[in-house]
Homo-oligomer: A and B are copies of this chain.
Amino acid sequence: MHEIIDSHAILWNLDFMELLVPTLPETTQSNDTAASRFVDDYLLYQLASASHRLSSEFHAYVKSRGVKIYVWRVLACLVDQPGLMLTRLSALVLIEQSRLTKITDQMVGEGLVSKRADPTDRRKTMLYVTEKGAQTARPLIAQAKEHEEKSLRVLTAQERKSLKRVLKKLG
């Protein structure tokens, strides 16, 4: 539902370890028969659910490396866009501007990124991944690709192509 929950919240995850969400035993009461819950065929729920499940998987890995999810997200988004200004990174990384300001400040303190005022417009903050940030990101990106590969195995080649094309249209 989220993203529905996507909550925004929710970026990426990995199942090199077993699933986090154990299958629950059958419930005592209520219509398991009623095969038609509203949400089951609701696009926004399906998106949120898939996003949530897959991201949770990978997040377990990110956390196991001692990296905060939002740090991973920022690095993954920024690594290919040196000098990106804060507001644009905010839209890309799906994190609110005011929140991203705090996150990047913290990351500057940790030596993962650096900030520089844009000389042509001093309102703008240009962001750069530092060498340390790049070193942090590298193995995570490698694992992300591996996890993605695994996740896509349940789909046919056709389905994979179609999915990505469609998601680009929607996103």
Contact = CB atoms under 8 A, between A and B. Distances in A.
A126 B163 contact: no
Residue among A1, A49, A52, A118 with max Cβ neighbours from chain B (10 Å):
A1
Interface in A62-88: 73, 76-77, 79-85, 87-88
A104 interface: no
Taken together, the copies of this chain in the complex come to 2
A44 B9 contact: no
A2 B6 contact: yes
A97 to B, nearest CB: 11
Interface residues of A, number: 84
A171 B49 contact: yes
A101 interface: no
Contacts of A11: 1-7, 44-45, 48
A80 to B, nearest CB: 4
The 8 closest A-B pairs by CB, nearest first: A7-B9, A6-B10, A9-B9, A4-B11, A7-B10, A3-B10, A7-B7, A8-B10
